[in-house]
Structure 1
Amino acid sequence: MLQSISKGWWFVVGGTVLAVIGAAAGIYVPKALDPQDERPIAINLVSNPATVPTWGNDVFSFVMPTTARPATSPPLDCPSIVDWAHRNGGVDQEATRVRLVAQGLSDKGVLIQGMRAHIIRRSERPDPGGTSLTCGGGQGTVTPRQIAMNLDEAVPSAEYATKVDGRLPLFGFTLDRGETEVFELTATTMGTVEWAIDLDLVVGGESQKVQVTNHGQPFRTTGFVSPHGYRVMAGTDHWVECAGTPPTCGSTAVSPAEFRYS
């Protein structure tokens, strides 16, 4: 059961992490970056990908545990559905997308020389769960500059996904005090994984590591494909029922009061 994702410790990851660096100009950067402490950089995490323009046309799916008994009905707009699913135990299906906004705090400057996935728990098979909830999708795509990390390697590390002058540039970004860099990261898996993000830094010639979690909790991703689920199709204002793998969705509106999670 998917309950094992939150209470058990059986995780595996297979796939690729894609990160995108966006220029600070024209991208919303929160005024207050957290935490403001003695670390050489401040990090702000945006864990709701439906609020990030880069993924505005993507489809977002979540596997709900079979034990789910939500106190409220799922909403209809995709950003609210993402938050609702996470609050009620939903696990990102196939991909977890997060935006990291990093700001330099050190007068010595900060070199971000690496980004790695810190795998906490893993399983070689995607843990079975219950119903899936899906939203998003639309017309048009955004093609930003990408950085890739293959988590199947012994030491997964980020590198550019696109060659420059016939070769892949080395991963590395320097932040002066007050300077901001935006990372847009997508982690995918064919199994089930609980993980965090490690940033490898160099400050004043000394190596440091900063770990980024999902607001104090691990990120959770599963490759489990539910044979049953519900979806709000792009441009509509109601849920429909879906079945099969790949899923086929009906056209008749379904009330959230009728949802089955097991």
Structure 2
Amino acid sequence: MVRASGPAHQRLEGPVRTVALVGGLVAILGTVLGAVVAWPDDWWPRHLPEPKIYMKDVEYGSSFGVPVAADALNHPPPDVRFACADRTSAWLRSVGGVPYWVSVEFVLTTERPESVVVLGLTPHVRRITSPPLRTDVQGCGVPTALIQERSAEFVVDSQPPKLEMTDERGRSVDRMGLNLGKGEAADFKLEAYAEQTGGVYEWTVDLDLLVGGEPKSLTLSDRGKPFRIAGALPDSAPSVNLPARLQDGFTHCREHPQDPSC
């Protein structure tokens, strides 16, 4: 058999070469797209990270309103030994108790290339009817300390809810006006309480931001749920004085913070 040659054979080379070239380009493009899809976010972020709130500490105070009779608190669990300790606070919350004071410390961080401006805080409050609180549990009072962070004092039952902010120097401010760049962080502290007796409230606070000139907000909450706070019960309510029943524990817990009773 004689193989075809000449002009006819040469005419076939052009289309074949074109198809091969297009196939090669498609293969290269597929490889590049696959690499982009699989590229780790920390090498080349496909989506810019949003600013984040990290909770440092939440304190619930040691004075509570609880929905049980005073007699129900006569026999605390064996590990509830100290009047003013986190374990005791957790026990009171487990029986439905609502604190009279809450302190939240948190950090705002950003990895955005553009600036993040902290404008201020917007509170959201809802009064709730349950649980009906029956007994006043007296603790050790509200701890006092020198506040070095940017802070806010939040009165949940004022109309409208009152939120007074101070900067890191302790000066009263209407707006935070704090500007964060990539990799920077800012500490905040918020203390909340109710001034009137008897009410129970759910609350969250929005941290108002400008991210690259666009308004955004981050919500400060109790692990995705609203915080709860109560106004102190009236003097006529049954009362339990925990410091008179339990050990003080202040020195012990300071020296032994890993003790489960602290």
Query: For the superposition of Structure 1 and Structure 2, which TM-score range results when normalised by the shorter chain?
Result: 0.5 to 0.7
1:109 — aligned with what? 115
User: Contact between 1:104 and 1:175, CA under 8 Å: does it hold in 2?
Assistant: yes
Tell me how far 1:97 sits from its aligned partner.
1.5
Q: Cα 1:112–1:87, aligned 2, differ >3 Å: closer, same or farther?
A: farther
CA distance in 2, matches of 1:235, 1:155: 36
User: Contact between 1:193 and 1:222, CA under 8 Å: does it hold in 2?
Assistant: yes
Which is greater in Rg?
2
Larger proportion of strand: 1
Q: Which amino acid aligns with 1:100?
A: F
Tell me how far 1:209 sits from its aligned partner.
1.3
CA distance in 1, matches of 2:207, 2:177: 11
Tell me how far 1:103 sits from its aligned partner.
1.5
Q: Which amino acid aligns with 2:119?
A: Q
Alignment of 1:216 with 2:241, yes or no, is no
Q: Which amino acid aligns with 2:145?
A: V
1:90-109 equivalent positions in 2, closer than 5 A:
90-93=97-100, 95-109=101-115
Q: Cα 1:150–1:87, aligned 2, differ >3 Å: closer, same or farther?
A: closer
1:198 — aligned with what? 206
2:135 — aligned with what? 131
User: Contact between 2:63 and 2:99, CA under 8 Å: does it hold in 1?
Assistant: yes
Q: Which amino acid aligns with 1:131?
A: T
2:185 — aligned with what? 180
Alignment of 1:229 with 2:235, yes or no, is no
Tell me how far 1:206 sits from its aligned partner.
0.2
Tell me how far 1:200 sits from its aligned partner.
0.6
Q: Which runs of 5+ in 1 are unaligned?
A: 1-36, 51-58, 239-262
Q: Which amino acid aligns with 1:105?
A: E
CA distance in 2, matches of 1:214, 1:92: 14
Larger proportion of helix: 2
1:13 — aligned with what? none
Greater Cα offset, 207-216 or 70-79:
70-79
CA shift digits 1:55-107 (9 cap, x unpaired): xxxx62112222879994561241211222223321112x2211122212322
- Ranked by relative contact order (alpha carbons within 8 Å, sequence separation 6 or more), the top structure is 1
Task: Kindly report the root-mean-square deviation, in angstroms, between the aligned alpha carbons of the 2 structures.
Answer: 3.9
Alignment of 1:144 with 2:143, yes or no, is no
Task: Give the number of equivalent residue pairs.
Answer: 188
Give me the TM-score of the superposition, normalised by structure 1. 0.57
Q: Which runs of 5+ in 2 are unaligned?
A: 1-46, 250-262
2:10 — aligned with what? none
User: Contact between 1:116 and 1:199, CA under 8 Å: does it hold in 2?
Assistant: yes
CA distance in 1, matches of 2:164, 2:248: 39
